């Protein structure tokens, strides 16, 4: 009886950590975007207000999904993935082009990035396949291997056609993580990785323009780090260099305690994407090392709590979904911080809970709802 009661306890600590990150992110978005909001619409709170509305809607979705038994997704995993793939291929064909990438799909008056939904759809699908008790037998036959290779390949191709390299990297690494957690045999794992590498090579030969911007970003990164501006593609020099350079300047200006909340200098049109991909640089500038350390501590506790729920779930399906969700969140956080710190080239990875984006925050909070339901049914102390 005690074990059953423990399983059904709501993980309020995990919920509090999520709300803390979301609340801090909205505050920092308001601070980093008020200059841009004033310029575009004479409303300094324009972006913060929109993000708060989406966040409230996302929280409602999160709470609702926290009461939906996660096991139900196994029955519809294939259909969920098909819908997500359909939306992503539609985006590659008729999506909106922004910054030389076709990542946005507009339905009515609402624009969103279907790649965000594809991540969780693929996680659920892979978890359903790998949690099948007969998977070990199926993996030794061609149709068992195809049940992984085709969906993963179709997902990666969909985002490659959108020129969405950050989503390609994250989806690829999520697949690797879920397969590792799922105990995929080494030869199956090697076949899938090899097929993916061969597919990328083939596409780069057939349609090289899909990867041209990737090479440009590496050239920009090398030029910024090593100071050789001759390698910058023509027409990109000033704008390309300013992103990484001003991000480093913002972080360095913050020092130990920061310039103070709302007192960033770089957000005054110096740092592009100040309230989106580079919001963490503004956070470091305003809150300093101490503030960033506190935020990273909350992230660390959040990751630990989420992976704890994954590892203590008594069903493999729940374990793989939770592990996939937490891997996705950790990857996006680490890659975003690496970009703003100039450790890797600019990839376009947003910062979870912080970066501006309505569809992104709703999908993230929906994932948190699924995670909270898995946590509620996992066998560990919630206090």
Q: What is the pLDDT of residues 172-211, one digit of tens each?
A: 999 999 999 988 878 777 888 888 788 878 887 777 777 7
Return the SS3 of 131. Answer: coil
Which is more confident, 94 or 207? 94
Return the SS3 of 111. Answer: strand
- Bridge partners (DSSP) listed for residue 112: 105
With a cut of 60, say whether residue 366 has pLDDT above it: yes
CA atoms within 13 A on the CB side of 309: 34
Strands (E), 84-164: 96-98, 101-107, 110-112
Q: What is the pLDDT of residues 115-141, one digit of tens each?
A: 999 999 999 999 999 998 665 555 555
Q: What is the dihedral of CA 234, 240, 241, 242, to 10 degrees?
A: 140
Q: Which of 33-47, 59-73, 349-363 has the lowest mean pLDDT?
A: 33-47
Distances (CA, A) of 110 to 54, 201, 227, 240, 357: 12, 35, 42, 30, 12
pLDDT band at 278 (very low <50, low <70, confident <90, very high): very high
Q: What is the pLDDT of residues 315-356, one digit of tens each?
A: 999 999 999 999 999 999 999 999 999 888 888 899 999 999
DSSP single-letter state for residue 350: P
CA atoms within 13 A on the CB side of 364: 25
Residue with tokens 């979904």: 321
Q: What is the dihedral of CA 374, 180, 330, 153, to 10 degrees?
A: -100
* d(C-alpha 241, C-alpha 190), whole Å: 38
Determine phi and psi for 247, rounding to 5 degrees: -65, -45
Q: Provide the pLDDT for residue 346.
A: 85
* Residue 293 CB partners (closer than 8 Å, separation 6+): none
Query: Are 278 and 291 contacting, i.e. CB atoms less than 8 angstroms apart?
Result: no
Q: Which two tokens stand for residue 369?
A: 């709802």
Q: What is the pLDDT of residues 205-232, one digit of tens each?
A: 777 777 777 777 777 777 777 665 555 5
Instruction: Give mean pLDDT, residues 22-26.
Output: 97
Rounded CA Rg of the chain: 21
Return the SS3 of 344. Answer: coil
With a cut of 70, say whether residue 3 has pLDDT above it: no
Q: Which two tokens stand for residue 198?
A: 């061969």
* d(C-alpha 199, C-alpha 153), whole Å: 8
Residue 40: left (phi > 0), alpha (psi -120 to 50), or beta?
alpha
Return the SS3 of 52. Answer: helix
- In DSSP notation, 89-108 reads HHHHHHPEEETTEEEEEEET
Q: Considering the entire predicted model, what is its pTM?
A: 0.92
Helix, strand, coil percentages (3-state) for the chain, rounded to 5, are 70, 5, 25
* Burial class, 368, CB count within 10 angstroms (exposed 0-12 / middle 13-18 / buried 19+): buried
Instruction: Give mean pLDDT, residues 150-179.
Output: 92
């Amino acid at each position: 009886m005690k074990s059953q009661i423990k399983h059904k306890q709501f993980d309020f600590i995990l919920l509090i950590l999520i709300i803390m990150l979301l609340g801090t992110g909205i505050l920092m978005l308001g601070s980093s975007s008020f200059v841009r909001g004033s310029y575009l619409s004479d409303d300094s709170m324009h972006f913060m207000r929109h993000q708060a509305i989406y966040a409230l809607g996302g929280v409602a979705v999160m709470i609702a999904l926290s009461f939906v038994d996660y096991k139900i997704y196994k029955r519809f995993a294939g259909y969920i993935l098909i819908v997500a793939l359909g939306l992503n291929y539609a985006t590659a064909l008729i999506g909106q082009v922004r910054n030389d990438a076709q990542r946005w799909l507009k339905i009515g008056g609402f624009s969103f990035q279907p790649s965000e939904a594809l991540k969780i759809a693929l996680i659920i699908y892979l978890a359903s396949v790998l949690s099948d008790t007969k998977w070990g037998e199926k993996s030794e036959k061609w149709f068992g291997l195809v049940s992984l290779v085709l969906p993963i390949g179709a997902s990666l191709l969909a985002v490659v056609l959108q020129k969405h390299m950050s989503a390609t990297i994250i989806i690829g690494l999520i697949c690797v993580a879920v397969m590792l957690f799922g105990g995929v045999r080494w030869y199956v794992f090697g076949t899938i990785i090899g097929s993916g590498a061969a597919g990328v090579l083939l596409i780069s030969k057939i349609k090289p323009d899909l990867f041209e911007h990737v090479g440009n970003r590496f050239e920009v990164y090398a030029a910024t780090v090593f100071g050789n501006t001759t390698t910058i593609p023509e027409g990109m020099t000033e704008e390309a260099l300013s992103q990484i350079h001003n991000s480093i300047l913002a972080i360095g200006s913050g020092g130990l305690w920061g310039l103070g909340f709302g007192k960033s200098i770089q957000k005054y049109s110096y740092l592009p994407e100040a309230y989106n991909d580079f919001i963490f640089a503004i956070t470091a500038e305003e809150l300093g090392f101490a503030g960033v350390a506190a935020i990273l501590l909350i992230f660390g506790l959040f990751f630990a709590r989420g992976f704890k729920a994954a590892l203590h779930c008594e069903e493999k399906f729940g374990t793989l979904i939770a592990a996939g969700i937490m891997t996705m969140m950790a990857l996006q956080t680490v890659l975003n911080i690496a970009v703003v710190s100039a450790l890797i080239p600019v990839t376009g990875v947003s910062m979870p809970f912080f970066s501006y984006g309505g569809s992104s925050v709703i999908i993230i909070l929906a994932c948190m709802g699924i995670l909270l339901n898995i946590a509620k049914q996992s066998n560990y102390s919630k206090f």
